[in-house]
């Protein structure tokens, strides 16, 4: 258990705190604090990645748990936004379904003795998802609404714009992941009675 994996596990353990902070419906700047904590927790992905590479401590466990931690954090935030009525359930369903599909494919790869690390599109997807979630957390907050209708409208448009990019990357990164895992998908396992 190296430091990179410890940071990743800490990110997973603090997800319930993010959920509580988002559901609390704090007045005034409360949503901004909740959004900041979510963003801080999401940013630890870069920290554990740096630790793993700089210390030459990249492990198969890290390659598996790191993307899973990101998925759990994003999924938790999306479910809360749907619960609060801020985000349509269809948007969350698309993103969460993608994560289930890719995780299932990752498990198949592991069963075949292969580990497929997250690609550049997958990382970009995560970044835009985090930005979109932060935008959706704060767009209806009192500080934004107090700026007046033009600013509130701009915040709405920006939030949906970033979410649209996140959705495109979500779908495209899934296709890209399947492409890079095509050898795993098309591999035909040997039958037990095979003499090969």
Residue 39 falls within a domain, yes or no?
Answer: yes
In this predicted model, what pLDDT tens digit does every residue of 49-73 receive, in sequence order? 777 777 777 776 766 777 788 889 9
Residues of the chain with pLDDT under 70: 1, 60, 62-63, 115-119, 187-196
Q: Are 152 and 41 in contact (CB under 8 A)?
A: no
The per-residue pLDDT for 194 is: 47
Could you tell me where the DSSP H helices lie in 24-59?
30-54
CATH of residue 77: 1.20.120.1760
Residue 194 belongs to a domain: no
Distances (CA, A) of 24 to 17, 33, 137, 176: 11, 11, 12, 38
Instruction: Residue 45: name the closest of 19, 22, 63 by CA.
Output: 63
pLDDT at residue number 40: 93
In angstroms, the CA 31 to CA 113 distance is: 44
- Do the domain assignments include residue 106? yes
pLDDT score recorded for residue 182: 76
| Residue 70, in any domain of the structure | yes
**Would residue 7 count as lying in a domain?**
yes
Instruction: Answer yes or no: is 196 within a domain.
Output: no
Number of compact structural domains in the chain = 1
Residue 10 tokens read as 């800490």
Round to whole Å and give the CA distance between 36 and 14: 14
3-state secondary structure labels for all residues of 70-109: HHHHHHHHHHHHHHCCCCCHHHHHHHHHHHHHHHHHHHHH
**Contact predicate 112/187, CB 8 Å:** yes
Which one-letter DSSP state was computed for residue 94?
Answer: H
Which residues form the domain of 66? 3-185
Gap between the Cα atoms of 34 and 40, Å rounded: 10
């Amino acid at each position: 258990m190296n430091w990179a994996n410890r940071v990743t596990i800490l990110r997973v353990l603090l997800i319930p705190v993010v959920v509580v902070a988002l559901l609390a419906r704090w007045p005034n700047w409360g949503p901004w604090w909740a959004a900041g904590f979510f963003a801080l927790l999401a940013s630890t992905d870069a920290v554990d990645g740096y630790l793993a590479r700089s210390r030459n401590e990249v492990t198969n466990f890290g390659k598996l748990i790191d993307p899973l931690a990101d998925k759990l954090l994003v999924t938790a935030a999306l479910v809360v936004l749907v619960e609060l009525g801020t985000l349509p359930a269809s948007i969350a369903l698309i993103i969460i379904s993608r994560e289930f599909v890719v995780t299932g494919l990752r498990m198949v790869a592991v069963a075949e003795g292969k580990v497929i690390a997250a690609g550049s599109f997958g990382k970009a997807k995560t970044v835009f998802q985090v930005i979109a979630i932060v935008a959706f957390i704060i767009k209806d907050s009192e500080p934004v609404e107090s700026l007046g209708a033009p600013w509130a409208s701009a915040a709405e448009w920006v939030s949906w714009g970033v979410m649209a990019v996140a959705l495109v990357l979500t779908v495209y990164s899934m296709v890209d992941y399947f492409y890079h895992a095509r050898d795993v998908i098309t591999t035909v396992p040997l039958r037990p009675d095979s003499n090969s």
